[in-house]
Every structure is written in structure tokens, then in C-alpha cells.
Chain A
Amino acid sequence: MSTIPAPDHGRPMHGFTEIDNTGETPGKRSPLVLGVKDFGEVTATVCRPNELRKVPMAWNIMFALSMLLVLNLGFVVHYLIFTGVGVWGLNNPVMWAFDITNFVFWVGIGHAGTLISAILFLFRQKWRTGINRFAEAMTIFAVICAGIFPGIHIGRVWLAYWLFPIPNQMAMWPQFRSPLLWDVFAVSTYFTVSLLFWYVGLVPDLATMRDRAKGKVQQIAYGLFSLGWRGSNRHWHRYERAYLLLAALSTPLVLSVHSVVSFDFATSQLPGWHTTIFPPYFVAGAIFSGFAMVVTLAVPARELFGLKNLITLRHLDNMNKVILVTGCMVGYAYGMEFFIAWYSGALFEKFAFMNRAFGQYAWAYWIMVSCNVITPQLFWFRKIRTSIPLMFVLSLFVNVGMWFERFVIIVTSLANDFLPTSWDKFEPTWVDIGTMLGAFGLFGVLFLLFCRFLPMIAIAEVKAVMPQADPHWEGWGHSHGAGASPAAAHEPGDTK
């Protein structure tokens, strides 16, 4: 058995395969799929984790841990509801802390999924096909986690329906001039549209699962959710239009969601919040943290479930480049905030920023700066961008840094506002920490279930970007048009 020979990039090879597809040679196109020679192998590779009789031990351990955290979440949320928001460490000036930090953090995580699925689709970035499915799943689960926090933070949760314009005998309506209400609409629309987008993408792959399913239960379950999809080209035609439209609709949506979230702060009068840079700065930060989370999830998932041929080093390298770019934007925003605070000459504004860097929460500020500004700069180096362990560790740093960013923005601005007599210090209680960890557990459980029962990679989309999918493709022996891969000049083979 021969292997697919390497293209003559003259670069060293990295680990799992003989082809280095992290760079482009002019005139040739690096393949997006490695070591898989036909469509059937793509199907088999993606479906294998779902069809395993025994799940990997690592999955079991992670699931057990996540489940424990979910139980803990159930407990702390019940404790909160039965006792009142006093169980959190909130005090008079600091009435938002961990809850809103977590909300903004999780909504932000979701943004990478929509960016990959919608914006990269519009830009015809074909490498998105390898990672869009689980990035979109991540979006949905992250928004579910985000949704918990405003829900439990309103205090009287049994009146949560007041958030929605429901006709009632009191002629009592939501106040539509408040950004907090815009948030309700933005986040619920975002969740609905992301779910639709994800599900529409899943339908053809669920049909694949249905057609492969051996057991009765699987056949019925996948059969129901695949809606009777039979790959009809008349259907594909409308399907592709609908998919394009959803991408076009999601693109402004994803930019609007975190802008609206930032309005919660930016439209207030508080020094440190009342800035016009917030919407773009929040969106860049959201994409930054979201991509870090995709890397955090993709690295173990591809190792564990044997997806290295479909989520290649090129995909990871590209994501690390996005982290680098958005990391630079975030760093720029930090600097610009300081500059504007100084340039405005506003006393309170200047104080708010000096207080962030050198006040009672200076430690949090410097964690944020080192994780979000310094860490991504390491991705300038190709060696680091293509090193699996390093990128995993760096992505964790970015996750931590972005959580602290939200904490710093929210808590430092509230704790030390205009009047020194009203200053106070926020300290999280065990309930605060338990809720935060619980949300990570919920996210973990949902994501692990997704890995077990749904195809982690968009099977149909990956097939469509393979050179073989081009009707003008003439076999590995011919190098023809856009479909040609660097391996195309050689005989086929598998990387056994």
C-alpha cells in the first residue's frame, strides 16, 4: 500500500500524515481532506464514533465529571431560587457580577460557531466544512448556558414571562427602549436561527445515519429527524438556496447580538461602560473567545474520535490565525479605551481606567491582559500555530482571559463608581462559583452527547469540497482545474 505522496512544499511534515496542507503553493491547491480516497471513506470516518458499541473511556470520564457539575448546577440554582439572590456575593454598587459575566462569556463563545457557519460560507472559505458542524453545536450549547443566567438573575423567576410582550389585563408591556429588552429579542432570535441553521445542515447527514443504522431504535430516531430526505437534486436546489439565505441572515445577526449585549453597558452612564467602542470591541472579543473554544474542543475531539484526516492541521492553523487577528483587535481595544479615557479629560473616566489597572481588581486586569494580549501574539510563529499541545494550552489561556475580561469590565466599573462612600468590593460566594462551574458542566454534557449521537462533521459538505466532487474531475492521474490537489499528480493510495 502506497501512501499519498507529499507535495513539494519543501517544508517539514507534521505528525499524523505525509501531506503538509498548512501552506499553499501557487497554482496548486492544498487538500482539505487527507488520507481519505473516496466519499465512502468520509462517511465511514465521520459515522464511526456514532456507531461504536463501546465509547472511549475518556468520553465516559468526561461525561461523569460533567454530569456531576450539572447536578451541582441544579442544586445551586434551586438554592438560589428558594433563598433569593442574596446568596450571591452581590452588594449595593455591585449588583451584576458573576451572573452577567457568565452570560456575556457564553454568548460570546457562541459567536465563533456562527462566524464559521455563516460568514466563512459567504466568503467561500471551503475549509469551514471540516469544523462547522461542531462549532455550530458549540454555539447552540453555549447560548443555552448563557440563557440560564439572566433567567435566574431576575430574582423572581416565576415572573420571567414579563420579559415578553404578552397581552394582559394590566396593559403592562415590556419597555422597548431598554437595551435589556433588546437583549431578550437578540439572544432568543440568535438561538432560534442558530438552531435552524444547524438542523438544516444536519438533515442530509441524519439521512446518511438513517441509511447506515442497523438497530431499530436508531433507524426510527434518525429516520424521524432526517424528515424523509432522499438526496433529490430538486430538493438540493432549494436546500442550497435556503442555506445561502440562512448564512446571509445569520451574518448581520451574529454581529448584532454581541453589539446588543454591549449596549447593556454602553448605553448606561457608568464610567468604564459608557463608551462607543463597545459594540465592535465586544464582537471581536466574542469571536476571539469562540475560536479559542473551538480549538479547545477540536483538539481532543479529533484525537479521540479519529477525525484527524478531516479536521486537519490546516483547519487548526487557520483557526489560530483568526485567534491572532481577533486577539490583536482586542488588544487594540484595550489600548484605545485607555487613550480615550485620558483624551476625554473626564475625571471619572480617567479614574475608572486607572482603577482597573491598579485598583482593587488589578490582579484580574493583568490576568486579562496577559491571556488576551500577550498569549495570542505567540501565534505569529508557525511552529506554535501548528503544534497541537501548545495551541491547546494557549486556547485555554484565551478562554480564561476572556472570562476575566467580562469580569473586569462589569465588576471594576460597578465597584468603584462616582462616589467613594458608595464603593464596595465584590467577593464571589460558593453559590457564584458553583453556578459558574455548573454551566461548564451543562455545556460539557450537551457537547459530549452531541459527539456520541450526531455526526460531528458535515458529511455532505465535506464530500462537496473534495476534488472528486467536481464533475470534471478525471481521477487522481489528472490535474484538472480548481479540483486539483497537490496529491493529484500522483497515484492514489491510503495512509495505512
Chain B
Amino acid sequence: MTTLTTTQTETKTIAPARLNCLLAEFENPAQIMAAAEKVRDAGYRYWDCHTPFPVHGLDGAMGIQRTILPVLVFCAGAAGCTTGLVLQLFTNSFDFTVWAMVWVTGYPFLISGKPALSIPAFIPVMFELTILFSALSCVGLMLLMNHLPRLHNPLFTCERFRRASDDRFFISIEARDPRFYRSKTEAFLKSLGASAVEAVVED
């Protein structure tokens, strides 16, 4: 019994899990800013900073390109506005029959003598749908571009990383980065003034 257990433990140590990334811990925003600039200049590509709140200027220090999210949201808003207009014209102004999963027919209401094509009365709903489409796509696209929701990440196996949402600042450099050499990268991270450097394994 005892021998068997020992063998199992040994097998675990002999075949180490694949390295995912190296995680360096920093104490404050100033340190991580300085470190991020150096990691950027060293030419790493697959790396990231993890902070409890957005640190001002870190985007520049990391060399992050501006997101195209606003452009996409604008398109979604325009689509919402058009949807609002088409919906109201179709249902209240004309009697076309179109196929939208089933055959549907519009109905030109006559309400207190107002014209069938009364655009001013349609503006509020067009406006609301513009906002609705923009907001939904804004949040949806933001999550999509961030590859969220994602229920697991190797970083979550690291006990130290729990403080990334509290009061510590981290830099992770992934093992798949072409410039990544475990010993060199580890020494590099230590030279940046990291208070701790830890290996994070795949699981």
C-alpha cells in the first residue's frame, strides 16, 4: 500500500505538467507600469498585465492598440434605428405581405386622421431601438472580443493570483511566446523588480 502511494507521487514529480506561463507579482501601479514598458520593449507578444482596477496609462505602456468596439457599436445602433423604422412602417403604414418564418401582413392604421406614413410619431421607438441594439451589442461584443465568459484559466490554479482582484498587480508571460525561455524570462521578470515570480502550469 505504502509503496504504491510513493510510486504515484513519484510519477507526478517525474512527469511535470506543461508550463503555461510565468507570473510576476508587483506591489503597486508605478512598478507594473515600469515593468510593462520593459516587457513590451523586450518584444514579447503573448503576455498580459492583471490589475484589480484599470491602471491609467498601462494601455500605452503595454502597447495595446485601440479597440474597434465603438465602430461596431455604431453599426449596431444604425441597424437598430433602421429596424425601428422598418418595423413601424411595415406594421402601421403599408399592407405588404412578407415571409418572415410565417406569412405576415402589415396593417395601415387610420388613427385620428393622421397620415399612414407619420414619421415623427415613429421617432421615439426608433430612438429606443437604436439604444437597445447599441447597448446589447456593446456588452456582447466586449465580452466576445475578450473571449469571455470563460469559466477556467490556468491562472486560477495559482493561489497568489487571487490577489489580482484585490491589491496586487501581475504580469504573465505565456510559454507559447516565441521569445519565451523559462530561465531567461524568469531572470528578466526578477530584474524588473517583481516581488515574486511563479510558474503556472496547464491543467
Interface positions of A (Cβ within 8 A of B): 38-40, 43, 165, 167, 171-179, 181-182, 185-186, 189, 192-193, 196-197, 199-200, 204, 207-208, 210-212, 223-224, 227-242, 245-246, 249-250, 252-253, 256, 260, 263, 459-461, 463-464, 468-474
Residue-wise, chain B 138-150 has the 8 Å CB interface mask toward A (1 for contact) of 1101110110111
The answer to whether the Cβ of B167 comes within 8 Å of any Cβ in the partner chain is: yes
CA distance A454 to B132 in the complex (A): 26
Question: A40, B104: Cβ atoms under 8 Å?
Answer: no
B197 in contact (CB, < 8 A): no
Interface string of B55-87 (1 = CB under 8 A from A): 111110010100101100100000000000001
Q: Closest CB of chain A to B203's CB: distance in Å?
A: 15
Taken together as a complex, chains A and B put the C-alpha atoms of A325 and B70 apart, in Å, by 34
List residues of B (19-66) whose CB comes within 8 Å of A's CBs.
28-30, 32-33, 36, 48-59, 62, 64
Q: Mark B109-125, 1 if CB is under 8 A from A, else 0.
A: 10100100010011011
> Which residues does chain B contribute within 8 Å of A253, judged by CB atoms?
128, 131
A163 to B109, CA, bound (A): 16
Nearest 4 interchain pairs by C-beta: A227-B149, A39-B167, A242-B142, A173-B91
Q: Tell me the bound Cα distance from A242 to B151 in angstroms.
A: 21
Interface centre among B28, B32, B102, by most chain A C-beta atoms within 10 angstroms, is B28
In the assembled complex, B152 has its CB within 8 A of some CB on chain A: yes
The residue on A at minimum CB distance from B89 is A176
Residues of B within 8 A of A173 (CB): 91-92, 106-107, 109
Q: Across the interface, do A233 and B114 meet the contact criterion of CB distance under 8 Å?
A: no
Bound: A171/B33 CA distance, A? 62
Q: Indicate if the CB atoms of A172 and B107 lie closer than 8 Å.
A: yes
- A373 to chain B minimum Cβ distance, whole angstroms, is 31
* Minimum CB–CB distance for A488 against chain B, Å: 15
Decide: A460 and B52 in contact? CB cutoff 8 A.
Answer: yes
Could you give 6 example pairs across A and B, Cβ below 8 Å? A40-B166, A167-B104, A171-B107, A212-B166, A231-B164, A469-B53
Bound-state Cα–Cα, A249 to B132, Å: 9
Taking a contact as CB atoms under 8 Å apart, the answer to whether B138 and A189 are in contact is no
> A177-B118, A232-B49, A237-B64 in contact; A260/B166 too (CB < 8 A)?
no
On whether the beta carbons of B167 and A40 are closer than 8 Å, the reply is yes
Find chain B residues with CB under 8 A from A192 CB. 132, 135-136
Q: A233-B50, A461-B53 are in contact. Are A245 and B138 (CB under 8 A)?
A: yes
Partner of B165, one of A197, A211, A464: A211
A235 contacts B148, C-beta separation under 8 Å: yes
Q: Min CB distance, B83 to chain A, in Å?
A: 11
Residue in contact with A231 in the complex, picked from B30, B33, B36, B52, CB distance below 8 Å: B52
CA of A179 to CA of B101, assembled, Å:
29
Which residue, B62, B109, B125, B134, has most C-beta atoms of chain A within 10 A?
B125
Check if A224 sits within 8 Å of B69, measured CB to CB: no
CB of A182 to closest CB in B, whole Å: 4
Residue of A nearest to B172 (CB): A232
Find out whether the CB atom of A240 lies under 8 angstroms from the CB atom of B91. Answer: no
In whole angstroms, what is the CA distance A256 to B135 when docked?
15
Given contacts A43-B166, A176-B122, A228-B152, A256 and B127 within 8 Å (CB-CB): yes
Most buried by B among A39, A461, A471: A471
Q: How far is the CB of B44 from the nearest CB of chain A, in Å?
A: 13
B14 beta carbon closer than 8 Å to chain A: no
Whether A176 pairs with B92 at a CB distance below 8 angstroms is yes
Tell me, in angstroms, the Cα distance from A471 to B26 when the chains sit together: 12
* Residue among A196, A461, A473 making CB contact with B135, cutoff 8 Å: A196
| B70 interface neighbour in A172, A177, A181, A241, Cβ under 8 Å | A241
B55, B121, B164, B170: the one within 8 Å of A177 (CB): B121
